Each structure stands twice: as structure tokens, then as C-alpha cells.
A and B are shown apart, each in its own frame.
Chain A
Amino acid sequence: MGHSATGGHNYINHEKGLWSWLSTLDHKRIGLMYLFSVLTFFLMGGFFATLLRIEHLTGGQTIMDANTYNRVFTYHGAVMVFLVIIPAIPGALGNFVLPMMLGAKDVAFPRLNLASYYIFMAGAAIALSALLFRGADSGWTFYTPYSTSTNTTVILFVLGAFVAGFASILTGLNFIITVHKLRAEGLTWSRLPLFIWAVYATSIVQVLATPVLAITLLLLIFERVAQIGIFDPALGGDAVLFQHFFWFYSHPAVYIMILPAMGVISELIPVFSRKPIFGYKAIALSSFGIALVAFVVWGHHMFVSGQSEFANFLFSIITMLVAVPTGVKVFSWIGTMYKGAIRFNAPMLYAFGFLEMFTIGGLTGVFCATLAVDVHITDTYFVVAHFHYVMVGGAIMALLGGIHYWFPKMTGRMYSEASAKIAFWLVLVGFNLTFFPQFIVGSQGMPRRYWSYLPEFTRLNQMSTVGSWVLALGLVWTAVYLWRDMRKGKPAGDNPWEAQTLEWQSPSPPPHDNFIKVPVVTDWPYEYRS
């Protein structure tokens, strides 16, 4: 596809052949490699999820035995967390968009960027290779002492997560320095796009939290290999210490997953509302509020672990504080849409989907943060529904919105709006049909991670399973039309959304060096007048 200003040259045809992709230092190509890898893992994680839901068509055995079920839910969780949601927005969309939004030619350390990708893939390969042996059945949380005593291949599984963690650390490091050092002339901090603010805050969390997971997983591996006893009470260790270490990373990891999603939404809403963003500073700073609070709430995963009542009380109160910066964002987004001239393109539909689903996920999070209520709903399907509303209803919706939004920039072609609308409604309806019933069975006491359930939960579980089929249909359909339109879609033009962030000032697809003329910034990127 030619572009007059560049003589038809762009990052896709800049070099040819598979090797030119595998050895590329171009952040845009690395971003696309992440995108394809992450979507492949998403398909895999989704396949595991579908198996789990089919198993729950009946209370007894449907298609697999209990031991297989344990492995499948472990893989579903681990793949979705470590290989899909954590790397998806920063690794794929962030890599492609972040340097362009800054008016830079690349990230600060392009070789490190490529190394991150391969480290990520190596981690994935190691973790998934456990499938060839006895799999792993510890759940994605690897709780001791079960993870140190089960006869499944937990070591490979943990080692994979350990290795993939370094990719996350190095990507975060790269983005932090890029934002500090490679902003275009005139692009002051108060003019930074909100996606940059969000990814920057995420990067700080990645850099500060992930190393703690690294040492935790390393200790866990040595616990299995050499019985070092740090987590084993029989040897003087402390099993709850593992939980503290694990959640010290894994709670901030929740924000590693949701903050970039909020960044995407902050871009979509002003562009498709044709109005300046409401509360720019509040949105930017609330990302840091969330990042900060993220580090001091990990104990809310451990209300029934036997930690002190006083700690429970403190963690409960601080957890509720998360609602404040989150609320600031949600109300600012709504304020932006108010009296705007809203365009209902697919990215905006996903932004609406995000707002509603994420709000349900967020509010049910307050239930979980309330001590007395949590004692009742701990380890039930209520919690499963809660975090799926945040992770799928929030993070995945934003990912889908972001993919549609930047699709024309990445490919130079437009996706089919009609196809995308059908997909959106399938996803939205399927998602709610899958997970809303889980709030109900959870509040009635159906425990999570169990292979079977009592007969009274049958109807709601069957609803949930049917919902998972609708959701899967929507996602598969999305893959089909995006694959088709990537090659056969109508030429999109450089700026089909009339957006103001810098990436849209470049040709679609962009040239190897991102811009024909290095941009100079004179204003913030949200000066829309409807």
C-alpha cells in the first residue's frame, strides 16, 4: 500500500523476510510480534477456559476428571495472567504507540526491547513445556506448602513465570527512560497523552514489584529442590510468608494489568466524544495514586490466612482507598462524554463496555475488601466473577478497543465497522452471561477451584457455560475479520479518527523512522471542539 509522502516506504516493507522481523530493533515490529504472540496465548487461555466451562455443564464428571480439571484451571489462570494480560497492552500496544506518541524514533534501548520479547517467549516456552510432563496443579498462585509437595511439574511452571518476569521488568525500565529522555521538542509533562501517563505509572510498578516475585519464585524452586525450609513450617519456615511475598508482587500486578487499560480508555473517550478530556491532571495523577496504593494493599488477599486481625483491619481500610483515584478517573471520563458529539465506532463501544463492566468489577471489589463480607465470599465464585469483571470486562475490553483504535495506524487499513459491532455485542452479552451468574452462585456459597458442585447450582452454571460459548464466538469472529481486514480492508488514511496525539500525524503505516518530519509540540493533545 503506497503513501505519497513516503514513496510507499513504511516499517512493514522497510526490510523483507522472516529474519528481518525476528532480528528487528524497530519498536513497531516488536510491538506487532508481541501482539501476535499475546493473541495466540489468549486463544490458548481461552481454550482452557472453554474446557472448564464445559466441565461445569454438569455437577459430576462431564469431560474430564478432577486432576485434569486442576491442571486446566491452573493453566488457564497462569496463561491469562502472565502471558496475556500483563504483557498485552504495554508489550503490544505500548511498544507500538508509546515512542510515536512521544515523537521519538524508537524506545531508549531498542536491543533491550528485542531481548525482552525473546525473554518473554522463553519464559512462555518453559512454563508451557510443563504440559509435556505432568503439568502443574497449584493454581497460578503457587501457594505453599501444596506447590512444594504436589507431584506435578511445578518447577518448570514457576521457572517460566520467573523468566517471563524479567521481560516485564526490562520493558518497564525501557519505557521509563524513553518517557524521560525521548520526548519531542515542546512535549512537556503537562502535555503528555494520558496513555503515556498510565503506561509510565505501570512501568514503575513493573520495575518495583516484579523483582520481588523473582526472588519469591526462586526461593520456591529451591524449596522444592533443596528443601531450604523458608516456606515450610516443618523446617522452621512460614507458609504465610510465601503469601505475603507473592501478593506483594501480585497485587500490584493487578494494576500492571488495569492501569494501561485505563490509559487506552483515556485516549478513546476524548477522541470519540470530540471534546477535550475532563480532568486531565486528575486522571494523570490518579494513575500514580493507584500505583502507590497498589503496594500497600496486598494483605487483602490474605484475610483468612491467619494474619493478625489488626493487619486485616488496616488492609481492609487501605483497600477501600483504591476506589478514590479509580472513581476520579471514571467520573472524569463521564464528564468528558457529557455534551460531547459521541461517535459510536467500535473503539468507543469497547470504551463504554469497559466503563460499565469495570465499574461492576470495581464495586464488587469493595464487597471483597469489607472484612465481614469477605469471610463469607473468600474462595467462592463471587471472587471469580469480581476479578473477571475487572480483568476481562476491564483489561480485555480496553485491549480490544485499543486494537481497533490503532488498527488503521498499524496496518494502513480500516477494519469493517459492521463486523466489529457484531463482535462487540457478542462479547458483551457473552461475557455477562458467563460471569454474572457466578456472582449469584458465589454469594450462595459455591466454592471456586472445585471440580464439582451441588445440584442447586446447576442451572446458573449451565447459563454461564452457554455464555462462554457466545463470548468465544465473539472473540473468534474478531480474529477472523481482523485477519481479513488486515490484508483486504479499505485504505484508512493517516488519521481516520481525527485524533490529535502525535502517532496520527505520521503516515499509516508509519515509515521506519516513525515521522517524515520530527514533530514539535505546541499544545496538549485533547483540543477537540464539537
Chain B
Amino acid sequence: MSDAHHGHVVEHPGSKPHVVAHHFNDADHEFDASKQGMWVFMVTEVLMLGGLFVAYAIFRGLYPEMFKAAHAYLSVKMGATNTVVLLTSSLTMAMAVSATQRGERNKALGLLAATVALAGVFLVVKYFEYSHKIHSGLLPGGLFGTEQNAELIKNFPKAPLFFSLYFMMTGIHGLHVVIGMGLILWIMKRTSAKEFGPHFYTPVELVGFYWHFVDLVWIYLFPLLYLVG
């Protein structure tokens, strides 16, 4: 027990002790509250991305043929590669959380590093996809290269809209990947500083949540954008 300003202290041999914030009864109470908070945050993410999915649904309903024609300009091979890459990174992330909970610090660090590396691979593939699109003038709305893609525009004058959605959806997802990488690096730093162990692993588990969510969003984006029709 402790005084009113400093909560409980939980310890594990070989790790730094964790001080529970003063307004929680104990470590479990703190963990439950944090986890519930993360779930609510996930809900807000779903609603934010929901706007884009609604826009996608509306315009695909209005111009189904255009979506079919425009999606052929995306590389299924690259999209599929990235799907495998992200799914694997979710696996390494889940294993890292489990290793942290069991107190296997070096294993956790290795798995987190693998997760960041896979996220990096995802972004490199995305970089090649984007540069190809930019090079070919397959860009959102007013930036669309109409002369380079005269054929597509002639048959489907609304085609730039598909690329608007493509860039907005994958761009916002990509931003989440970058943020996730930053969070995992932060977790790695704190793991190295021996802050986590069986006694305290809330940040690792919550970053894991976030990472699985980012993965899950891609699982929706891939078929909607790359596998139309």
C-alpha cells in the first residue's frame, strides 16, 4: 500500500517496478481501464474510416463500370504481397505481446523489430505503387493526367474519382502504418529500458491492438480497391 499521491507498485525481478497511477485501486484496475479506452478509440477509428467507405459505396453504386475499368490500373500482385506482409506483421506483433507477458525480453525485442521491418516492407511496396501511379498520371480528380490516359477518360470520364478514393483510402491507411511504426519503436525503447514484464505490459498490448486494427483495415481495402469485379 502507499499514500494517496502514489498508487500501488507492482514488481517483477529484473524489470523496473511500475507505479500504478494514484486514482486507480490496483494494477488490474488500471489495465482494464486502459484496455477499455483503447477499444473506444478503435470505435472512433472505424467511424472515421467509415466516411470513406460510405463514399466508396456511393460512387461504386453510381459508376460500377468505371470502377471495374479503373481498378485494372492497380497491381494485384503488389497489393497481394502487401496483404501477406501485413498479416505476417500481425503475427509477429501478437507473438511479441505474448513474449512480453512471459518476461522474454530479448525475444519480444526481436519480434517487435521484425514487425517494424515488415511495416517498412509494406511502405516500400506502397512507394513503388504510388510512384508508378504518379508517373502515369493516375492521380486524384483535378490532378489526373487526362492526356496520358486519354483512352480511359474517353470511355469513363469519371475515372479520376476512383483514384481520388484510392489515394485517400490507402493514404490515410499508410499514415496509420507510419504512426504504428513510431509506436512500435517507442515500445522497443521502453522494452530495452526494462519497463515491461509480466507485472506490466499495458502499452505493448495496446500498441498490438492498434497494429491489428491497421492490418484489419487493409484486409478490407485490398479487395475493395484491387479485386473489383
Instruction: Tell me whether A229 and B36 are in contact (CB under 8 A).
Output: no
CA distance A214 to B47 in the complex (A): 10
CA distance A215 to B40 in the complex (A): 18
Interface presence of A245 (CB below 8 A): yes
Tell me how far the C-beta of B47 lies from the nearest C-beta in chain A, rounded to whole angstroms: 4
Interface presence of B41 (CB below 8 A): yes
Beta-carbon nearest neighbor of A237 in chain B: B161
CA distance A174 to B33 in the complex (A): 10
Instruction: Tell me whether B40 and A227 are in contact (CB under 8 A).
Output: no
CA distance A238 to B172 in the complex (A): 21
Instruction: Tell me whether B140 and A177 are in contact (CB under 8 A).
Output: no
Query: Inside 8 A of B48's CB, which chain A residues have their CB?
Result: 211-212, 214-215
Question: Do most interface residues of chain A lie in helix, strand or loop, or is the interface mixed?
Answer: helix
Instruction: Tell me whether B140 and A173 are in contact (CB under 8 A).
Output: no
Interface presence of B179 (CB below 8 A): no
CA distance A218 to B172 in the complex (A): 10
Interface residues of A in 202-239 (CB under 8 A from B): 207-212, 214-216, 218-219, 222-223, 226-230, 232, 235-238
Beta-carbon nearest neighbor of B165 in chain A: A230
Interface presence of B65 (CB below 8 A): no
Interface presence of B106 (CB below 8 A): no
Query: Inside 8 A of A216's CB, which chain B residues have their CB?
Result: 51
- Tell whether A210 pairs with B44 under 8 Å between CB atoms, given A216-B51, A236-B160: yes
CA distance A209 to B50 in the complex (A): 11
- Tell whether A226 pairs with B51 under 8 Å between CB atoms, given A173-B41, A177-B37, A207-B40: no
Interface residues of B in 21-74 (CB under 8 A from A): 21-24, 29, 32-34, 36-37, 40-41, 43-45, 47-52, 54-55, 58-59, 62-63
Instruction: Tell me whether B29 and A181 are in contact (CB under 8 A).
Output: yes
Query: Inside 8 A of A512's CB, which chain B residues have their CB?
Result: 5
Query: Inside 8 A of A230's CB, which chain B residues have their CB?
Result: 55, 59, 141, 161, 164-165, 168
Interface residues of B in 66-100 (CB under 8 A from A): none
CA distance A338 to B226 in the complex (A): 66
Q: Report which of A105, A108, A174, A232 forms a contact with B141, defined as CB distance below 8 A.
A: A232
Beta-carbon nearest neighbor of B53 in chain A: A215
Query: Inside 8 A of B21's CB, which chain A residues have their CB?
Result: 110
CA distance A207 to B36 in the complex (A): 13
Interface string of B137-163 (1 = CB under 8 A from A): 001111100000000000001101100
A99, A181, A241, A513: residue with the most chain B Cβ atoms closer than 10 Å: A181
Instruction: Tell me whether A228 and B141 are in contact (CB under 8 A).
Output: yes
CA distance A238 to B62 in the complex (A): 11
Instruction: Tell me whether A236 and B63 are in contact (CB under 8 A).
Output: yes
- Tell whether A177 pairs with B40 under 8 Å between CB atoms, given A105-B22, A237-B161: yes
Query: Inside 8 A of B34's CB, which chain A residues have their CB?
Result: 109
CA distance A106 to B58 in the complex (A): 44
CA distance A227 to B142 in the complex (A): 5
Query: Inside 8 A of B47's CB, which chain A residues have their CB?
Result: 208-209, 211-212
- Tell whether A238 pairs with B143 under 8 Å between CB atoms, given A207-B43, A245-B51: no
Query: Inside 8 A of B58's CB, which chain A residues have their CB?
Result: 238, 241
Query: Inside 8 A of B4's CB, which chain A residues have their CB?
Result: 105, 513
- Name A's B-contacting residues (CB within 8 A): 99, 104-110, 169, 173-174, 176-177, 180-182, 207-212, 214-216, 218-219, 222-223, 226-230, 232, 235-238, 241, 245, 512-513
- Name B's A-contacting residues (CB within 8 A): 4-5, 21-24, 29, 32-34, 36-37, 40-41, 43-45, 47-52, 54-55, 58-59, 62-63, 139-143, 157-158, 160-161, 164-165, 167-168, 172
